[in-house]
Structure 1
Amino acid sequence: MSDYKIGIVVEGTTDRIIIESALNHIFQDQYYTMIQLQPERNFQHGGFDSTGAGWGGVYRWCRQVVDMGFKISENPSLKKFDIIIIHLDADVAEKDTVMQVF
């Protein structure tokens, strides 16, 4: 079977570790490659790229993808992935919380 390419968009390192553990169980008899799309590591911006970490970083990353003007299925940056996982903690589910920050 072919190697699955999985992109993950997470708030931070702990989320990546948990998702990777779950993927190891789900794909225990198959190969996969996991690439963390967000947060990107960049030591010039406090350890992460300009979108930052946390739920705000996930939100900004998603906005950047939308602003590229492609459908997700046609986006050249995302087409190479078989699966894209976008993770947010449930504590930001309230719309009022999001709107207060942005």
Structure 2
Amino acid sequence: MRNIGIVCEGPTDYTILKEVIDHITGESNDYVQLQPEADLTGAYGNGWKGVWKWCRDNAACKEKLMRAVEPSLDLLIIQMDGDVSRKEKIAHCLCNATKCEYKGKYHPLECDSKKEIRESCPIVLPCAEHKTSVNAYIRHLEQLIIEELQDMSDTCIVIPCDSTESWIVAAYDGLEDAEEKEDPWKNIIAKKKMYHEIRITGKQKRINVFKEFAIVVIKNWENVTKLCVSARAFEEHVKSHCKC
């Protein structure tokens, strides 16, 4: 049993990730949801910007933070959805292809908070430096996180593409192009009131529904790793860190 900290975009991602990790390691682990905070109203909020802010603010003290948790953390998981690379301009602020008068003067998250700068942002998507592919999205966001954290000891990054919901549709529907579907929650899972006999209430993601999803994701995990390069990479990284 390990004590594992998770920094992720939201509570539904947390629900899926911890079940997947238990399945990969073959044992029940203890988990600490570091980000977002349980009430979603903490210092960083939720979503991908919250993950980025957490990495930025905790980079210098990551090792100390991991030791401060009781019991201390054996592994830190950082999750960000691949759609960030596909559709979020500020994620490309630091790319070599980006030419901007404010580059280097502000952190991209600071730029985004300044309305006058945000509205004149020169970034055009897709970014010339990152091809529109699953592998490119993963490499881009992994590098973004690595450059922010620096110290990657006992740390594993996971970038589900287009989002964690891609693993769900891969598990349920066996789609070979599951990771190429844009916004699978909106366009597949929540498109109708029922998804594989599971009731979907509006567009809101509910933890109890994702707990049901997690059961099927684990049951079909071998197929998910065949269909989703991000799931396969995550399994390899977790096994490497945990010596499974």
Query: Which interval holds the TM-score relative to the shorter structure?
Result: 0.7 to 0.9
- Aligned equivalent of 2:29, options 18, 27, 32: 32
Question: Shift in Å at residue 96 of structure 1?
Answer: 3.3
Structure with more contact order per residue of length (Cα contacts < 8 Å, sep ≥ 6): 1
The residue identity in structure 2 corresponding to 1:4 is R
| Aligned match of 1:101 | 112
Question: Shift in Å at residue 101 of structure 1?
Answer: 2.8
| Aligned match of 1:23 | 21
Which structure has the greater CA radius of gyration?
Answer: 2
User: Which one has the bigger strand percentage?
Assistant: 1
Question: Shift in Å at residue 60 of structure 1?
Answer: 0.8
**Over the residues paired in the alignment, what is the CA RMSD in angstroms?**
2.1
Measured against aligned partners, the alpha-carbon deviations of 1:50-98 in whole angstroms (never above 9, x if no partner) come to: 21100011011111112xx34x4xx221132111110000011257333
The residue identity in structure 2 corresponding to 1:90 is G
Q: Could you state the TM-score of these two structures normalised by the residue count of structure 1?
A: 0.74
Q: Could you state the TM-score of these two structures normalised by the residue count of structure 2?
A: 0.34
Gaps of 5+ in 2: 92-107, 114-244
Runs of 4+ displaced beyond 4 Å: none
Counterparts of 1:18 and 1:76 in 2: how far apart (Å)? Answer: 27
The number of equivalent residue pairs is 90
User: Which one has the bigger helix percentage?
Assistant: 2
The residue identity in structure 2 corresponding to 1:6 is I
| Aligned match of 1:77 | 65
Gaps of 5+ in 1: none
